[in-house]
Amino acid sequence: KLINVHVCRFQMAAEPVNLNEFQELARLALPKMYYDFYAGGAEDEHTLKENVEAFHRITFRPRILVDVSRIDLSTTILDYKISAPIIIAPTAWHKLANPEGEVATARAAASCNTIMVLSFTSSSSIEEVAASCNAVCFYQLYVLKKRDIAATLVQRAERNGFKALVLTADAPRLGRREADIKNKMIKPQLKNLEGLLSTKVSSDTGSNLEADAREAMDASLSWKDLEWLRSITNLPILIKGILTREDAIKAVEVGVAGIIVSNHGARQLDYSPATISVLEEVVHAVKGRVPILMDGGVRRGTDVFKALALGAQAVLIGRPVVYGLAAKGEYGVRRVIEMLKDEFELTMALTGCPSVKHITRNHVRTEHERI
Ligand code: FNR
């Protein structure tokens, strides 16, 4: 009997039924230092909790007696048709989760027919990822003091068929993640930067992530530099890290191809707002001129639906992908995306939305709206 109980427990752990269960599997699979690095947020982790909980405060206004015998989840982002409005966010160092690193993640993206945004701080190179599969990939860029490095990386991304650049603009300095400080988090290799940086910054033995980032990152980057960025690439540029109408308007003015409403998974400025709570402010300011994506705290298909109802074209998922990778490699990432898609599809059926175009503002009620 005892053995049976153990078998049952193992099976429960082995085949998760939702994204949160993948987090628990990842915690069991990873060394504490790596798990904390992936899971942690800045300082009090107030925003980390809020990113998830703000979704819980939004409820549905479901419509009945709509023909939902066929549901179409597909959508188009910058001309790329994807199977559902769920994209892989750029996250650092996938080889800490699995030896195949970003190559496994990209293969999962390809088999789920979605887009992967490869992180600037990836542990597999641009070339390895491009050669591994035919996933549609965007390249996420940080701009370092050595500006010519950005130009080199952008050219490599273009040459290898990456389709867009994502400029992450909310990290002039690294947020204070206290678990990493306590754990003396090691700094893994930055694969794409090999040979481009001084040995000090590219070594894998340093332990102060914040100091190293401060030395390398160009904190002087400002709106006028978008012109420079546009001069070194023909790729469309999306800006990631927008949380206010003011910055959304500026982004449109400088000619970006898209906006990602994001607080960097609550790893930068604690007490920045939950992203889902400011999405509408940005949507109203942009007035449909460029597509708006969002990330932060998306853990359920219902969250995907809520983001779309409030005006996002798609969501990105960060931590759940890394948890899937840590728990079960490429298969785990695939399962994470498939589960979210399945939940999203069910939500569409139960709210009366046969396609993503049918999802409207009227299908949700935020906490500020009277019943
Ligand atoms: C990130 N994020 C991030 N963003 C970015 O632009 N470049 C990067 O290298 C990273 N690295 C990174 C590492 C880890 C471990 C995490 C958790 C996050 C932020 C990421 O792209 C995304 O904004 C958030 O992860 C979204 O929130 P959720 O889905 O993790 O809640």
User: Closest Cα partner for 313 from 52, 76, 65?
Assistant: 76
Handedness of CA 153, 170, 80, 55 (dihedral sign): positive
Look at residues 116, 251, 140, 248 and name the one whose alpha carbon lies nearest to residue 190: 140
Q: Determine the Cα–Cα distance for residues 117 and 95; give it in Å rounded to an integer.
A: 16
Total residues belonging to the chain: 371
Higher pLDDT, 207 or 97: 97
For residue range 137-192, what is the model confidence (pLDDT) as tens digits? 999 999 999 999 999 999 999 999 999 999 999 999 999 999 999 999 988 878 88
**Average pLDDT of the residues of the chain:** 93
Residue 188: per-residue pLDDT:
82
Can you tell me the mean pLDDT for 215-221? 90
**Per-residue pLDDT tens digits for 299-358:** 999 999 999 999 999 999 999 999 999 999 999 999 999 999 999 999 999 999 999 999
Cβ of residue 241 lying under 6 Å from some atom of ligand 1: no
SS (HEC) of 171-192? CCCCCCCHHHHHHCCCCCCCHH
How many whole angstroms separate alpha carbon 89 and alpha carbon 315? 9
Q: Can you give the pLDDT at residue 174?
A: 92
Please name each of the domains of the chain with its CATH number. 16-365 (3.20.20.70)
Query: Which pLDDT score is estimated for 371?
Result: 66
264 lines ligand 1 (CB under 6 A): yes
Q: Which residues contact 370 (CB under 8 A, 6 or more apart)?
A: none
* Calpha distance 214→172 (Å, rounded): 8
Q: Of ligand 1's atoms, which has the minimum distance to the CA of residue 119?
A: 9
56 given a catalytic annotation:
no
Q: Give φ, ψ of 213 to 5 degrees.
A: -65, -40
Total-model pTM: 0.94
240 ligand 1 Cβ < 6 A: yes
Residue 321 has phi, psi (to 5 degrees) of: -65, -45
Query: Which pLDDT value is given to residue 207?
Result: 53
Tens digits of residue pLDDT in 30-85? 999 999 999 999 999 999 999 999 999 999 999 999 999 999 999 999 999 999 99
Q: Of the residues 6, 46, 56, 264, which is catalytic?
A: 264
Regarding predicted confidence, which is higher, 162 or 203? 162
Once rounded to an integer, what is the mean pLDDT over residues 219-243? 96
